[in-house]
Amino acid sequence: MDSKDDNRPMIQVQNVSKWFGSLKVLDEISFDVNEGEVVVMVGPSGSGKSTLLRCINFLEEFQEGNIYVDGKLVGYRDVHVDGTDVRRRQSEAEISRLRTTAGMVFQNYNLFPHRTALDNVMMGPLMFHSRSKSEIRDECMALLEKVGLADKASSFPSRLSGGQQQRIAIARSLAMHPKVILFDEVTSALDPELVEEVLRTIRDLSKEGMTMIIVTHEMQFARDVADRLLFFYQGKILEDGNPRDIFANPVTDRFKTFVRRFSQAHQPLTA
């Protein structure tokens, strides 16, 4: 399976298991994400959500199973040695290419502090895309416009709010023309009044048909934006379906307990 056919899901996770030492943190995880689908992952701390996202763009290695992004095998290839198939790591060039297909946005933005907002967005395309600098600049300015920050193009990150920095980080990811964006708790480090502006940007992307996997503790947002909700617990997916159905009729008691604990610690969810 090397090139994408039209019906194939954008992401395929097949029986993926991962251990850190003797601790099994992903336990035979399988699910698909179709093109344009927004999948939200929730679950208690330590349940494996970040680890799985990191496996999808191969920031983490995994020992068993396969992941395909846009039809391409992630991280490994099978080579035939002495009559047996052996799994080998792909070349760094192949892995870099994968990371442009599946962009990732992190909790702590990771912007370069000594570069302006615009330079932060332009760095990736300048390195990876063979287009003229002025063309890249125009497109990156348009992306800053899209996230509502065209007027901050020449600002350095330290002069921007957390919400603004996070929107720059999203623009930076978009500049690579990803087919998928993976968001890992991108609002967790933000003051409450800045959360909504970032969520709005993500909502806009979902309306444009961007394929996304979003790990979040924002339950109301999860319910609003998700086409599908996955509930992680101890490295397994215990719930997988339409968020409204899951909230109304969870299959597992674990999910009920999770939501109850969550509601006690946060504002109650409205229907």
Question: Which one, 156 or 262, has the nearer CB to ligand ATP?
Answer: 262
Nearest to 128 by CA among 168, 173, 87: 173
Shortest distance in whole angstroms from residue 39 CB to Mg ion:
15
The C-alpha R_g of the chain, in whole angstroms, comes to 19
Contact call for residue 264 and ligand ATP (CB under 6 A):
no
Contact call for residue 51 and ligand ATP (CB under 6 A):
yes
Contact call for residue 49 and ligand ATP (CB under 6 A):
yes
What distance in Å separates the CA atoms of residue 245 and residue 249, rounded to the nearest whole number?
6
Contact call for residue 50 and ligand ATP (CB under 6 A):
yes
Which position among 12, 47, 165, 206 is part of the footprint of ligand ATP (CB under 6 A)?
Answer: 47
Contact call for residue 238 and ligand ATP (CB under 6 A):
no
Question: Which one, 49 or 172, has the nearer CB to ligand ATP?
Answer: 49
Q: Are 124 and 175 in contact (CB under 8 A)?
A: yes
Contact call for residue 187 and ligand ATP (CB under 6 A):
no
Shortest distance in whole angstroms from residue 262 CB to ligand ATP:
12
Question: Which one, 68 or 232, has the nearer CB to ligand ATP?
Answer: 232
- Segment contacting ligand ATP (CB under 6 A): 4-12, 44-52, 72-80, 223-231? 44-52
Q: Count the alpha carbons within 13 Å of 30 in the hemisphere toward its beta carbon.
A: 5
What distance in Å separates the CA atoms of residue 125 and residue 183, rounded to the nearest whole number?
20
Contact call for residue 178 and ligand ATP (CB under 6 A):
no
Contact call for residue 255 and ligand ATP (CB under 6 A):
no
Contact call for residue 187 and Mg ion (CB under 5 A):
no
Which position among 14, 27, 32, 46 is part of the footprint of ligand ATP (CB under 6 A)?
Answer: 46
Contact call for residue 50 and Mg ion (CB under 5 A):
yes
Contact call for residue 148 and ligand ATP (CB under 6 A):
no
Question: Which one, 46 or 71, has the nearer CB to ligand ATP?
Answer: 46
Number of residues engaging ligand ATP in binding (CB under 6 A): 10
Residue 179, number of CB atoms within 10 A of its CB: 17
SS (H, E, C) 46-95: CCCHHHHHHHHCCCCCCCEEEEEECCEECCEEEEEECCEEEEEECCHHHH
Shortest distance in whole angstroms from residue 46 CB to ligand ATP:
4
Contact set for ligand ATP, span 8-27 (CB under 6 A)? 20, 25
The residues of the shown chain that bind ligand ATP, judged by CB under 6 A, are 20, 25, 43, 45-51
The residues of the shown chain that bind Mg ion, judged by CB under 5 A, are 50
